[in-house]
Amino acid sequence: MMIKRYMKLFSVTGVFAISSLAAFSYCAPDTTVKVLHPDEKQIEVSRQVVSLIANYNYKKVPVGDSLSKLIYNNYLKSLDDNRVYFFQKDVDEFNANSTLIDDQLVMGDLEPAYHMFNIYLARYANRIQFMIAQLPNVPFDFTKEESLVYNREQLPFMQTQEEMDAYWIQRLKYDLLNLKLAGTDEAKSKETLKKRYENLLSQISKIESYDAFQSLMTAYTESIDPHTNYFNPNNAAKFNIDMARSLEGIGATLKFENDFVMVAAVVPGGPADKSGQIAIDDKFVAVAQGDGEFVDIVGWRIDNAIQLIRGAKGTTVRLKVVSKGQDIANPKIISIVREKIVLQDQSAKKEIKTIQSNGKDLKVGIIDIPAFYADFKAYQAGDKNYKSTTRDVKLIIDSLKAAQVDAIVVDLRSNGGGSLMEAIDLTGLFLKEGPVVQVRDTKNKIEVGEDDDPSITWDGPMAVLIDRFSASASEIFAAAIQDYGRGIIIGTQSYGKGTVQNSIDLDQMMGVGGSSVIGNTNKFGQINLTIAKFYRISGSSTQHKGVSPDVSFPMVFSADKYGESAEPAALPWDEIKRSNYKMLANISPLKKALVEKHEKRMKGNKEFEHLLTDIVELKKRDAEKTATLNELAAKKERDQNEAESLARDNERRIARGLPPIKKGDPKPKGEKPYDFMLEESCLIVGDYLLAIKK
């Protein structure tokens, strides 16, 4: 039975659209500390959200002490995940509420949660004021063998004021040392830090009641499942702007971690992406408008930082950026011209590569698909020429056929999903009609999404390239290609998001007229409910497990930290009955030979060796919890890291026939980053092409 067309259009959203906006919920507080209280709207929303989740969410979580403790722990962690603001005595007091918070949400009794938030604000302001007071007076000795424990998540909360003060003096020393290593003299460093800390204090006055409410509701919804979300009116506007896929800025989704504004995702085709200098987990430490002075944004709340980074099309923003593994004392400066980012118009792109396989030249067409997009308004208006992923890819395939390519690689790396309709229709370009995906709703009713178009656009050899950030609709497409035996899947295990969400405008539900989430009239916000789960036609869920490739690359981003399996409240993997479909080919007998040829090429391959080294280095850095406060040791560590990084880059360049780069020199302009995984994927699909022709 076909899934209704509107379900295809609106039910499945990309994982990044949901998770990236969740970053807005936890903001670093920002001169006067005011005492916050819930208003009547928040009290009513609390009751309504609990009722909606209890009655309509796919995952049924009974209200009780177990749920209450989850909500409480999530909320406590959102306020002080590094355990540097609250004392143990604060937590002992809060613990008395740990089994009551669920009942309080049901009744709309939010004062106990706001009490926790108010204490957090007071502690935060006190610590910043403490560091400002220490700046003029404390002489710091950077010759001591001393370290700062910057990751305290697993340590106990502090017991005494002396212990707390000692930690924050070390934090101050760490900030000064980083500026010292960058060549700033002590007086200038102290002036810089004073401005930074005063900026943090100035932001506290901007914290409002809705910030506290958002933190509380996020703690609640995250206890249910990672893709059920409540958005307060401001965040609802941001979410829907993102869903409308239109903004002016640099094209990067941001998050907040450990006092840093960081890159959560880079919009394909946006200014940040085109610069080739910004990547996931990069830290933005300062922002300047055009040729203006830099404003330090370390510790800023995320929405304030976004206001500085976003701006009108054609204007320039300069960013001080610290990449993963790079020393914070030595940020790079990047200049980016803002553009109009219309995500619907971030179209699929093509490229043709010529490879040699067994002495033969083969042409491989590459289709890079950044998202499963569609112009929903044009479709609903009956416009037969509405823009969509499937339409764009069909045109690309026609051009690749005209160029007489031998095989096609569909690149879905970092594709967080989008329209379910597009996942089904795109699959239909590569096979005749048949089931593509199964969806089970809250009543256990199963509907099958089918491709009902008997035509086929590309019937030749193909591969799908995925990575850890290929999610949702990407997984539907890759899974269908794999289940039919239509092509080979290359890359790493995908994200594992196998759930379907529906957005509910609370203003409309509660009978408030004239609501517009995009504008400023929304009073109650919105909730995204998980309403269903989708399954492969083989019956297996993609939830949690994602799609496993036929030929694997090493996983750069750990599954322990990234993906659905890293989410504590994620729905489990399960199976339903197999759909009625017939495999087009059984490629299992070919896999062993394909893997063997791939592994043979990797032996002695410098790019592959360095990829493995980079993975080990990233894991090592992720495991680190301390930083030295000894100047000589810190400088030695920084210089060694920079030298090793430069040496690895130059080895890679020499292996590709490029000249090495000297320390401090920029890469040549116009030089494209080398995409090792894509290059190897073309060779793998070449092996596949020759294997099936035998």
Which residues participate in catalysis according to the annotation? Answer: 472, 483, 497
Cβ atoms within 10 Å, residue 130: 16
Whether residue 348 contacts residue 392, with contact meaning beta carbons closer than 8 Å, is answered with: yes
Cβ pair 278, 302 in contact under 8 A = no
In sequence order, what are the beta bridge partners of 231?
A: 526
Which residues, 6 or more positions from 584, have their beta carbon under 8 angstroms from its beta carbon? Answer: 431, 484, 485, 486
User: Are the beta carbons of 309 and 254 closer than 8 angstroms?
Assistant: yes
Q: Kindly give the pairing relationship between strand 360-368 and strand 407-411.
A: parallel
Contact 533, 543 (CB under 8 A): yes
Identity of the residue numbered 281: D
Q: Are 394 and 367 in contact (CB under 8 A)?
A: no
Residue whose pair of structure tokens reads 């001169």 in the numeric block:
31
At 363 the three-state DSSP class reads: strand
Do 448 and 1 meet the contact criterion of CB atoms below 8 Å apart?
yes
Q: Which 3 state secondary structure label does DSSP give 247?
A: strand
- Secondary structure E strands in 369-511: 407-411, 434-441, 446-451, 462-466, 488-491, 499-505
Residue 427 structure tokens: 């699959």
- Residue 35 burial (10 A CB sphere; 0-12, 13-18, 19+): exposed
User: Which contiguous run of DSSP H or E holds residue 527?
Assistant: strand 526-535
